[in-house]
């Protein structure tokens, strides 16, 4: 089974460099164009199933892929972005001044940090990886598409690559990027990562 991991297209908060957790933002105009580019990039894939976070920005991206492949979408709440609690919507530079203790711990030992009123990275990884194992257990034989979010996908890829969560900053997942993972029994292989060539104009 091949699993294609897609980060949703751009929202206004992405553009404005704001913390974006479980707030239900839609794609902006650029994000809609990016979602269409993702769909075209996958046009030759034999997509058997599509799973998505129910948050609008992810679901709208999945719907664009679904329209091309005529495959129904299954939404999984476990694929939602990290619950960033009280920081949702803050501009990233404001984190340091408004939540200095959290920011300090997040900088030096992110897995031990919990977003104020929200989740920690280990909690996020547990629910996201649980969703992936559930998808694998359904015995799909062809390509499966998963649309989700920045931190959610990072924790999944850390698991795939055997990386510690403390090493998550060694990876970067761009908006509207595509990564592919191949599952073959106990063998897991990263086929490609953070592909964005489809966004070039």
**Over the stretch 151-169, which tens digit does the pLDDT of each residue have?**
999 999 999 999 999 999 9
What are the structure tokens assigned to 157, written together? 């890829």
Which single residue is written with the structure tokens 């920690």? 120
pLDDT score recorded for residue 139: 85
Residue with more model confidence, 180 or 185: 180
- What is the pLDDT at residue 184? 82
Conformation bin of residue 58: beta by default, left when phi > 0, alpha when psi is -120 to 50: alpha
Sequence-ordered list of residues with C-beta below 8 angstroms from that of 35, at least 6 positions apart, any chain:
8, 9, 27, 60, 61, 64, 65, 176
Tens of pLDDT, residues 72-95: 999 999 999 999 999 999 999 999
Whether 48 is catalytic: no
Tokens standing for residue 38: 């993702």
**Mean local confidence (pLDDT), 106-113:** 97
pTM of the predicted model over 0.85:
yes
Determine the Cα–Cα distance for residues 66 and 59; give it in Å rounded to an integer.
10
- Sequence spans of domains, the chain: 2-199
Active site residue 81: yes
Per the structure block, which two tokens stand in for 133? 């194992």
Q: Which of 8, 60, 78, 119 is catalytic?
A: 8
Please, which pLDDT band fits residue 27 given cuts at 50, 70 and 90? Answer: very high
Catalytic position from the list 36, 60, 78, 81: 81
pLDDT at residue 187, as a whole number: 82
Q: What is the pLDDT of residue 200?
A: 87
User: CATH fold of 2-199, please?
Assistant: Rossmann fold (3.40.50)
Q: What gap in Å lies between CA 127 and CA 80, rounded to an integer? A: 9
Q: Is 30 helix (H, G, I), strand (E, B) or coil?
A: helix
Which phi and psi (to 5°) does residue 169 adopt?
Answer: -75, -5
Using DSSP's 3-state secondary structure scheme, residue 179 falls into strand
Element (H, E) at 12: helix 12-15
Angle, vertex CA 129, rays to CA 142 and CA 2, nearest 5: 15
> 3-class SS at 55?
coil
């Amino acid at each position: 089974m091949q699993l294609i991991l897609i980060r949703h297209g751009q929202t206004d908060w992405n553009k404005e460099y704001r913390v974006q957790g479980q707030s239900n933002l839609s794609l902006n105009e650029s994000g809609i164009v990016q979602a269409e580019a993702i769909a075209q990039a996958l046009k030759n894939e034999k997509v058997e199933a599509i799973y998505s976070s129910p948050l609008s920005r992810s679901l709208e991206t999945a719907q664009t892929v679904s329209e091309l492949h005529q495959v129904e979408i299954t939404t999984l709440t476990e694929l939602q972005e990290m619950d960033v609690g009280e920081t949702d919507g803050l501009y990233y530079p404001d984190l340091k001044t408004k939540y200095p203790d959290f920011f300090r711990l997040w900088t030096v030992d992110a897995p031990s940090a919990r977003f104020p009123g929200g989740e920690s990275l280990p909690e996020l990884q547990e629910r996201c990886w649980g969703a992936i194992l559930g998808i694998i257990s359904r015995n799909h034989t062809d390509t499966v598409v998963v649309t989700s979010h920045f931190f959610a996908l990072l924790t999944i890829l850390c698991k795939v690559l055997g990386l510690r969560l403390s090493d998550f900053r060694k990876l970067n997942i761009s908006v509207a990027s595509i990564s592919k993972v191949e599952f073959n029994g106990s063998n897991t292989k990263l086929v490609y990562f953070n592909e964005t060539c489809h966004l070039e104009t």
